[in-house]
Amino acid sequence: MPTPFEAAERRTGAAEPLEHPPLQVGPEGWAQDPAVPPGGPRVAPEAPPRVEAPPPPLAEAALPGTDAGSSTNWAGYVLRGAPGTFRSVSATWTVPHPHSRPGVGDYYTQCAVWVGLDGAHPGAGHLAQVGVDVNDLGGEREYQLWWELETGGVGASPIPHPVRAGDELRAGVAHLFGGTFAISVECRAAGWAYRRRHSYPPGTPVPPLGSAEVIVEAPMFRGVTGMLTDFGSVEFLDVAVNDLPLSGFAGAATRYDMVDGVELLAETGPLGDGFGVCWRGYGRPRRALSGQVWKG
């Protein structure tokens, strides 16, 4: 299951949260979709032998103004701003094919590829996201589309469309009004599209809309971050934020590599209107520090 941003280390300070301005009502016309009971991922039965990751390549230059940092469970780009800054995010990517490796074939590895809003806004307790899980158990591959409005403890809900490696997806999250979001994902080659309106439960504070994320994640389950599926690489294309190209937000962007101690697990490429994330290592099952989900 996708999880909040854990223990990110930034090399520059994060912006201080500001008071939330009034939110405007967004476009109408999205169908209401009943919630589907969430599924739960499996957990690795025991810690596997450590797999040495190759040394990281020479760093590539990102656009001027782009910060860099590391996370124990995310790789990709996070945009931060004042509350109300980010209203939508979308991207295109191809579902990766997991590669099993000797020595880890008996262990369950996990990976989630997604876009979302408010996952890295400090203290928000919100995360609106849509994506796909790519899991591997000794060569038995699992693919699952999902959406989630995370408020702490509530899991993801499956999207009832089939998906497999090689499918090109276009997915997005857009704020409509109050606690309501438009969630969309489509696969043109397969001829299906999912477009629904979903809302936080009544009484949930208004989402701050203070961050946007395009992420490859090692999901957490019952407080443990699992081993990262060898996904090869994921290329995020035509990334749009507030319906504008991602490259225009370089000054608000932080590039994150995923690490397990000194081991590099996933490396994020330079920012343009898209970017790539490359797998570098499995890591090991890691328990989250109590109460630590974000550090600026």
pLDDT in tens, 192-236: 999 999 999 888 889 999 999 999 999 887 778 889 999 999 999
Q: Is the pLDDT of residue 38 over 90?
A: no
CATH number for the domain including 171? 2.60.120.700
Q: Is the pLDDT of residue 100 over 50?
A: yes
Q: Is the pLDDT of residue 134 over 60?
A: yes
Residues recorded for the chain: 296
User: What is the mean predicted confidence (pLDDT) over 113-120?
Assistant: 96
- 187 inside domain: yes
Residue 249 backbone dihedrals phi, psi, to 5 degrees: -110, 20
Give Cα separations from 168 to 120, 164, 269 (angstroms).
Answer: 26, 9, 20
- 292 inside domain: no
- 20 inside domain: no
Q: Tell which wins on pLDDT, 278 or 31.
A: 278
* Residue 54 CB neighbours (<10 A): 8
User: What is the mean predicted confidence (pLDDT) over 251-274?
Assistant: 96
- Whole-number pLDDT of residue 294: 29
Mean pLDDT, the chain, rounded, equals 78
Q: For residue 93, what are the domain limits? A: 9-13+63-287
- 41 inside domain: no
- 32 inside domain: no
Comparing 1-5, 91-95, 168-172, 230-234, the range with the smallest average pLDDT is 1-5
Residue 289 backbone dihedrals phi, psi, to 5 degrees: -70, 140
DSSP for 24-40 reads: PP----PPB----PPP-
Whole-angstrom distance, CA of residue 98 vs CA of residue 231: 5
Whole-angstrom distance, CA of residue 18 vs CA of residue 163: 40
Q: Is the pLDDT of residue 15 over 80?
A: no
Query: Both tokens of residue 262?
Result: 């000194």
- Whole-number pLDDT of residue 35: 31
Which region holds residue 180: left if phi is over 0, alpha if psi is between -120 and 50, else beta? Answer: beta
Q: Is the pLDDT of residue 251 over 60?
A: yes
Q: How confident is the model at residue 104 (pLDDT cuts 50, 70, 90)?
A: low
**191, burial (CB in 10 Å: exposed 0-12, middle 13-18, buried 19+):** exposed
- Of the ranges 57-61, 151-155, 251-255, the best mean pLDDT one: 251-255
Location of structure tokens 């490696």: 165
- 210 inside domain: yes
- 30 inside domain: no
- The CA dihedral of 33, 93, 140, 261, to the nearest 10 degrees, is -110
Location of structure tokens 């499995």: 282
Query: Both tokens of residue 113?
Result: 């590829």
- Whole-number pLDDT of residue 223: 74
- 2 inside domain: no
Q: Give the total number of structural domains in the chain.
A: 1
- Whole-number pLDDT of residue 221: 74
